[in-house]
Amino acid sequence: MVENLNRVLFTTCKELIDDAKLGCIDMVFKDLCIEILAKAKLVLSDEQFEELSLYVTERLKEKLMRNPRHHERIHV
């Protein structure tokens, strides 16, 4: 029963990340990722949390690649 609940929570976290990626600007998306990971750490197993962290990392990379101009640093 607990494993099924963990799987549902894990899947829900991934869906939240995907929804946020599609509908949020970069800064809000990053903030939501941090919020979701912080909450997920409390309810997922260590293995699931690690997998979710990798999933979030990939989604962040994808989001950054779509809007590279927002991530350039100004050199003075």
pLDDT for 14 equals 94
Block mean pLDDT (10 aa), the chain, length 76: 84 92 87 94 94 94 74 44
Calculate helix-pair angle for 46-66, 2-23, nearest 10 degrees: 10
Q: Where are the domains of the chain?
A: 2-67
pLDDT for 25 equals 84
